Structure 1
């Protein structure tokens, strides 16, 4: 993993990998695990608290809402103190939230604890992106960020079968005690290993920089195409795929856990493949936004399988959702390559704010739609409930893709005149 040290310091490629990539990737691993773990724990949580689909969606999506709220203050803190100094108190806060979740006895208590966890983990990905962008050459960012997203996929995969295996030796409350300890230790590790950030130029105030980000054509073009699919990927993959496999496909908890594990393993492969494909396409004059458009189109086709209740292989459909959905992570790379360096960190802040607010709305709203139907005696919701919810999501994503295709058809010279620009 070659590095491009800034003028203020020198680090070898191995040092970048050990001191920068690994510690911050571990934080992202833990964030993805705790974001996704409720998909595996849903049956236990429903039984323990007698949750409706709407309550389950709200409880799980509270992570996204708090995560989104953290983005602006975390963005300011990252610029002022650097990612290592920010991550230690944030991960300690996540540990406190995990302990509170372990001891919660009511829906409200668990809801607040889940929000505190999301707040504490709100800087994991942004800190990793900022640290990596400081020490990695821009040309290598797509593949390295692909590796980072793959580590997040590994964390999400660890929330499936490994968590189910852990539940043979402890209950979900004990599991969150261990997660609290892991969060605290990860924060200490990042603070101890991370090299000091080189001095950077004074940046514009946050709100002024955010206005510049939102007005930038590349940011608006990318968000119009990829933002809603990204929120759908996060919101559904983190909870409702497991419930769909249980309610519609009627798989056992063991089978659901296995399929979730396969799906999260597909995220690892997909993230690395998207990064490599983007670099390969760029060398041949294909813009990353075009790669994103093809991926979004394929992602919508997969979701149509849920809408049409494609029975030949429910297993394949669930894995394809997570495999193809990883293409939505490409928007971080597009924005990082397209915007001026002074706006890169703020652009990641803006993206995260929009993505996680959207994921909150998707995860909570999906549960409200499903809850409009009555469950059968064992508590399974019918296929039409999920078809209606997935159909709504497809209708929300389709305009962005159609706008992109229409704009490209109207301005073919624009796309041909800058073939290698992001």
Structure 2
């Protein structure tokens, strides 16, 4: 195996784990609600707290990645994630669960960005869309595990043991990073901390970032928020699916993510050679994601696995915005560009998961089931926000200095 592919595989395992812990509350939700008496709002806050912690780390993380490289940063933070998994395994109250969830969010906050940074360092520029898509696809495998596999595991062991197993797996990945991944001298110009912070400021003020961020935030926020928690309750309450059937569909969503991420990466690269920008391909994909939500909301009379599979495939289109933005900035800003975009995406996911929980709590509910109208209202609000962001995304950039001239 080539060195670059070995490195990609190790960083991808980190991203796999981040997706696993991100979505693990979907199958655990009913157990946690029953054992600890959590309300929909508490469950939404608990699950979304991961995104809150994750988002809060992104700006300093971008500076750390650009200064110290992905290997050291990821290995250090994954140790925090292992601590979070062990804390969750020993939790007997809502507060302790929140602490464990927070540590998991902080500890896995570098998984995607470190992977993207490693791809930029070890692969050719033309391979970025394809490799970014492959990384996201492996994350989809982690999402798949939160469906039927985790439900099967819960039939033979407890949710506490699952968190211990996760901690052990994280420890193995840390060992691989330390002993199997060499340092990469990217030879980027050194700069002061103040200059690096100014680089972050310039990224957030650039016209291209300001045009891209709102739709990335809305689209990926909805996808991550629903896929990570509220897809199961929707399938149960609106589509009237059994827990086993809902778990199967969640697994289908994860598989669709794998296919969609890899497919969009390959498609973007091919279309770019024909003169169609990655920005345009990403926008079209996120528009199709809105269509998938409308079809689900309307109860379109086709098999549910097909509807939610389409949801999973198109929901990955937003990842292309990473490739479209990083191509426009200097390489030594890559970490800060990616983490800045991740920040807005995960703020969106936090708002969706907690916001959906508040809305579901506002309607009468009992026995862990929520009102159909509450689900529908949540989805309609999310669709309206995505549509507004899409119209902003489609506007023409003013004729100003391009983002690629940003210096740090």
Q: What TM-score, normalized to structure 2?
A: 0.93
Structure 2 Cα separation of the partners of residues 80 and 282 of structure 1: 31
2:12 to 16, 25, 40: 25
Conserved in 1, the CA contact under 8 Å of 2:55 and 2:342? yes
1:201 aligned to 2:189? yes
2:307 to 278, 299, 317: 317
Alignment of 1:133-152 (within 5 A): 133-152=120-139
**Deviation of the 1:320 alpha carbon:** 2.1
Structure 1 equivalent of residue 405 of structure 2 = none
1:155–1:379 Cα change, 3 Å: closer
Conserved in 2, the CA contact under 8 Å of 1:218 and 1:339? no
**Deviation of the 1:329 alpha carbon:** 0.9
1:14 aligned to 2:2? yes
- Per-residue deviation, residues 24-69 of structure 1 (Å, max 9, x unmatched): 1110111111111111111111111122111111010110011111
Conserved in 2, the CA contact under 8 Å of 1:302 and 1:320? yes
Segment of structure 1 superposing worse, 38-47 or 27-36:
38-47
Structure 1 Cα separation of the partners of residues 305 and 362 of structure 2: 26
2:356 to 366, 379, 390: 366
2:149 to 162, 177, 187: 162
2:105 to 112, 118, 133: 118
Structure 2 Cα separation of the partners of residues 284 and 224 of structure 1: 27
Structure 2 Cα separation of the partners of residues 168 and 17 of structure 1: 36
Structure 2 Cα separation of the partners of residues 278 and 142 of structure 1: 7
**Deviation of the 1:296 alpha carbon:** 1.7
Structure 2 equivalent of residue 4 of structure 1 = none
**Deviation of the 1:312 alpha carbon:** 4.7
Conserved in 2, the CA contact under 8 Å of 1:222 and 1:334? no
2:165 to 154, 163, 178: 178
**Deviation of the 1:382 alpha carbon:** 2.0
Partner SS, residue 335 of structure 1: helix
Segment of structure 1 superposing worse, 178-187 or 81-90:
81-90
1:383 aligned to 2:376? no
Structure 1 Cα separation of the partners of residues 189 and 257 of structure 2: 36
2:256 to 226, 244, 266: 266
Partner SS, residue 106 of structure 2: helix
Structure 1 Cα separation of the partners of residues 99 and 270 of structure 2: 45
Partner SS, residue 246 of structure 2: helix
- Per-residue deviation, residues 244-302 of structure 1 (Å, max 9, x unmatched): 11121121111111111111000000000000110111111111111122112111112
Conserved in 1, the CA contact under 8 Å of 2:89 and 2:163? yes
1:228 aligned to 2:218? yes
**Deviation of the 1:140 alpha carbon:** 0.7
Structure 2 equivalent of residue 58 of structure 1 = 45
Q: Structure 1: where are the runs of 5+ without partners?
A: 1-12
1:73–1:404 Cα change, 3 Å: closer
Partner SS, residue 57 of structure 2: helix
1:312–1:375 Cα change, 3 Å: farther
Structure 2 equivalent of residue 74 of structure 1 = 61
1:350 to 329, 340, 347: 340
Conserved in 2, the CA contact under 8 Å of 1:308 and 1:387? no
Structure 2 Cα separation of the partners of residues 194 and 255 of structure 1: 41
Structure 1 equivalent of residue 92 of structure 2 = 105
Structure 2 Cα separation of the partners of residues 155 and 307 of structure 1: 26
Structure 1 equivalent of residue 386 of structure 2 = 397
2:268 to 263, 272, 278: 278
Conserved in 1, the CA contact under 8 Å of 2:66 and 2:336? no
**Deviation of the 1:148 alpha carbon:** 0.5
Q: Structure 2: where are the runs of 5+ without partners?
A: 403-408
Segment of structure 1 superposing worse, 396-405 or 139-148:
396-405
Partner SS, residue 369 of structure 2: coil
Segment of structure 1 superposing worse, 114-123 or 367-376:
367-376
Q: What TM-score, normalized to structure 1?
A: 0.90
Give the aligned length.
397
Partner SS, residue 250 of structure 1: coil
Conserved in 2, the CA contact under 8 Å of 1:58 and 1:364? yes
**Deviation of the 1:17 alpha carbon:** 0.5
**Deviation of the 1:242 alpha carbon:** 1.1
**Deviation of the 1:72 alpha carbon:** 2.4
- Per-residue deviation, residues 76-120 of structure 1 (Å, max 9, x unmatched): 322232211122221111011101101100111101111111111
Partner SS, residue 29 of structure 2: helix
- Per-residue deviation, residues 172-209 of structure 1 (Å, max 9, x unmatched): 00100110111111111111111112043214633201
Structure 1 equivalent of residue 83 of structure 2 = 96
Structure 1 Cα separation of the partners of residues 115 and 305 of structure 2: 33
